[in-house]
Structure 1
Amino acid sequence: MTTPDPIAYLDLVAETGRDYKQRLLDVLDLRLGHTALDVGCGPGTDLPSLAARAGSVIGVDLDPAMVAEARRRTAGTGVEVVGGDAQALPLAGSSVDRARVDRVLHQVDSPRRVLAELGRVLRPGGLAVLAQPDWETLAVDPGPVAVNLAFNRFVCDRVVRHPSVGRQLVRLAGEAGLTAVSVEATAPVLRDFAVADELLGLTRNADRAARAGRLSRAAARGWLDDLAAGPFLATFTLFSVVVSAG
């Protein structure tokens, strides 16, 4: 199975995660006088929602293709989209009132550096919301639990750079000088195998695990056949942490 188009994939994530994204937006308590930052803004999916509430919005992403698409989608709205590394944000210190870091930290070299940068650019009393899944907790049904666990182990060892960073958010934020204001753990439920397969990479990563010898091809194929036959369910733990600066 081929790797999905990155922009189409992030749009699907946004569509299926609409409820939790709305909650993240609500807890930021954005005001018209605020400058809001979206770290790892991707194709700009969430920038219009921020712009509807904040006075000034900045999106930062490392991928030039994402920056170009985000600029296209937000053209004429006053949103500023800049290319930059989340680990070295191209912003002055104490220049941001509110920030969001949504499903970014598992991809970077150093989540600690991202959080340190967040602490640098937030004004004293500023708020940021961090959201991260814990890939170790992925549970699917039907199919043998042993195969589910072997699949998880492969993904966490070989696919996702920081698979358990969600559960580490409070500690890592504290080490960066940020104070956890609230912590929430939810378990999104997916019932459509085709959607979950695209979002969670079930087929493509089971195939990779089989090629790597971490699953037998028969076990991988049988597991995927069971999941496709259903009734299907997948869930994982999603951690959302609100932090304050200074």
Structure 2
Amino acid sequence: MTSPVFETVPPDPIAYLDRLAVSELGREYKATMLAALAVEPGHTVVDLGCGPGTDLPALAEAVGSGGTVLGVDHDREAVDTAADRTAHLLQVSARLADLHELPLADASCDRARTDRVLQHVADPSLALREARRVLRPGGLLVLGEPDWGTLTVDHPDAALTAAYTRYVTDHAVRNGRIGSQLPRLAAESGLDVVDVHPITPVFRQVGPADLVLGLQRVTRRAVAAGYFSAPDADRWLTHLATGPFLATVTFHVVTARA
């Protein structure tokens, strides 16, 4: 089943991050993360997995002219874009680096953040230990990640929803349950977890939900992986496109102290 309500071509990764940042969900959770960071003028802040630099200007404003903001990412195109977008901000720099082996000195940062990054990395525990290493005693790390196991897309056949969610957590996202695992993993890395703040957006229209979830594209991949039959996939997508729609997933913002 093909419907104009679904995107058929995967968006450019940078364009996807940009549009998510300005969505209602993006604005809400990013504001929550920024408040939790409690950045002060003069601080040194590192954005671990900064992507195209979406959040670097807000961090630069928070640290002021006397502070430092470093964006770190493993993707060259993202780092180059971040550098271009923040070239006018003298306190900001973007660097190509691996979150598992940060090119930063021990206890060199006051604040650190990751935003939907640990769901994709090879070893979240190692990345968290590296974040703890570069934080000064008392420094804060704020983590924002979804738990894709909480994803619910309403459908009259609950088994289809279960199959879709299972495919997402099994295959579509490397660390699909990371949102709920963050407090434990942070504690195991030596951090003191001081707050866990859940955010659960509710999508009532299929179009905006598809811009975040890629419903048709993911369903087709689930068919190829054996989670859906082709007829079941058509039945699933037809209802999503034409029936009353509701989808939710819980996003966790975790604050931890070094």
Question: TM-score interval w.r.t. the shorter chain?
Answer: over 0.9
Task: Compute the TM-score of the two structures, normalised by the length of structure 1.
Answer: 0.96
Matches within 5 A, 1:91-240: 91-240=104-253
User: Structure 1: how far apart are the matches of 2:207 and 2:97?
Assistant: 34
* SS of aligned partner of 1:52: helix
Pick from 53, 56, 65 the counterpart of residue 44 of structure 1. Answer: 53
Residue identity matched to 2:71 = G
Q: Is the 8 A contact 2:44 2:110 kept in 1?
A: yes
Pick from 5, 10, 25 the counterpart of residue 3 of structure 1. Answer: 10
Q: Is the 8 A contact 2:155 2:161 kept in 1?
A: no
Q: Is the 8 A contact 1:143 1:223 kept in 2?
A: no
Offset of residue 153 of structure 1: 0.9
User: Structure 2: how far apart are the matches of 1:191 and 1:161?
Assistant: 27
Show the counterpart of 1:18.
Answer: 27
Show the counterpart of 2:78.
Answer: 66
Offset of residue 142 of structure 1: 3.9
Offset of residue 145 of structure 1: 1.7
Runs of 4+, deviation exceeding 3 Å: none
Show the counterpart of 1:76.
Answer: 88
User: Structure 1: how far apart are the matches of 2:53 and 2:243?
Assistant: 34
CA-to-partner distance for each residue in 1:57-92, whole Å, 9 max, x for gaps? 100000001001111111111211000111111111
User: Structure 2: how far apart are the matches of 1:114 and 1:161?
Assistant: 15
Residue identity matched to 1:141 = D
CA-to-partner distance for each residue in 1:24-79, whole Å, 9 max, x for gaps? 10111111110111100001111111111012110000000100111111111121
User: Structure 1: how far apart are the matches of 2:192 and 2:83?
Assistant: 32
Does 193-202 or 107-116 show the bigger shift? 193-202
User: Structure 2: how far apart are the matches of 1:24 and 1:11?
Assistant: 17
Task: Compute the TM-score of the two structures, normalised by the length of structure 2.
Answer: 0.92
User: CA RMSD of the aligned region, Å?
Assistant: 1.2
**Structure 2 portions without partners, runs of 5+:** 1-7
Show the counterpart of 1:88.
Answer: 101
Offset of residue 2 of structure 1: 2.9
- Over the matched positions of the two proteins, sequence identity in percent amounts to 50
User: Structure 2: how far apart are the matches of 1:174 and 1:39?
Assistant: 19
Q: Is the 8 A contact 2:110 2:140 kept in 1?
A: yes
User: Structure 2: how far apart are the matches of 1:230 and 1:30?
Assistant: 45
**Structure 1 portions without partners, runs of 5+:** none
Does 135-144 or 52-61 show the bigger shift? 135-144
CA-to-partner distance for each residue in 1:181-232, whole Å, 9 max, x for gaps? 1111221112231221121121101011112222011111111111111432
Residue identity matched to 2:28 = D
Show the counterpart of 2:69.
Answer: 57
Q: Is the 8 A contact 1:12 1:199 kept in 2?
A: no
Q: Is the 8 A contact 2:118 2:178 kept in 1?
A: yes
Offset of residue 143 of structure 1: 4.3
